[in-house]
Homo-oligomer: A and B are copies of this chain.
Amino acid sequence: MKRNIKLIIRYDGSRYFGWEHQPDRELTIQGKLEQVAARMLGLPEGEVPDVTGAGRTDAGVHARAMVANIHVDTDLTEDEIFDYFNRYLPDDIGVIRVIFASERFHARYNATGKCYMYRLYCGRSKPVFDRKYVTVLDEKPDVEAMRKAAQVLVGTHDFKSFCANARMKKSTVRTVDQINVIEKGDEIRIVFHGNGFLQNMVRIMVGTLLEAGYGRMSAEDVARIMEEGDRKKAGPTAPPQGLCLMSVDY
């Protein structure tokens, strides 16, 4: 039977070259899903179904609930597909839900919003158990200054200064409707919600908020950087391991 399978996927991105399959890289999340799907469907050697993701996470970035879809021809049930994927995927990738979606569902085109969380660890001792999911800061930044700068980023803006792809031809206008800077124990967690994010945009925003937190940039500087549209003016790209895609809205 023709099915459009919607998958909700969780992964620890530590050992992967990101979401997107790459011809010369063995380890990508999409590549692993396609391998397992091909095997499940009994496709001939070398033939793989297209797994469409809601977005592409960078190398080392994690996801709690990435969404993807695959058009397949199968008589398996949702439960059987769930079990098959979880049995054959490696330990660091899990399928948390399988749903038969309508034929027209498209994980990327239909996504209306995304939520990301970035975890900064500022404790005095080391984050032994969470070490792969946080970015360690040597010194605690000023959280109030970060919140002030974050408010400048919230809204509908041209985020060209916060995009790693300088030759981006499509619009770099996005709406970020929430940035919450939360203190939790030894961590500062920054939660971003928006209608879409450009390449490295969350990580560049985090790098910029940290500049504000360390007093090297004011909220006014951040506003000016946004207007100038120059990536070089914004803060550095924060490391990938602190970032996690939390959810995708439809």
Check A12 against B91 for contact (C-beta < 8 Å): no
Counting chain A residues whose Cβ lies within 8 A of the other chain, the interface size class is 20 to 34
Decide: A92 near B131, CB < 8 A? Known: A86-B125, A86-B126, A125-B86.
Answer: yes
A235 at the interface (CB under 8 A from B): no
Give the oligomeric copy count: 2
The stretch among A40-48, A93-101, A151-159, A187-195 that forms the contact with chain B is: A93-101
Q: How far is the CA of A12 from the CA of B89 in the complex (A)?
A: 24
Chain B residues within an 8 Å CB radius of A6: none
CB-nearest residue of chain B relative to A130? B129
Are A12 and B125 in touch, CB under 8 angstroms? Answer: no
Assess whether A133 is interfacial by the CB under 8 Å rule.
Answer: yes
Partner pick for A125 among B62, B94, B125, B133, CB 8 A cutoff: B94
Query: A: which residues have CB within 8 A of B?
Result: 10-12, 62, 82, 86, 89, 91-97, 124-129, 131, 133
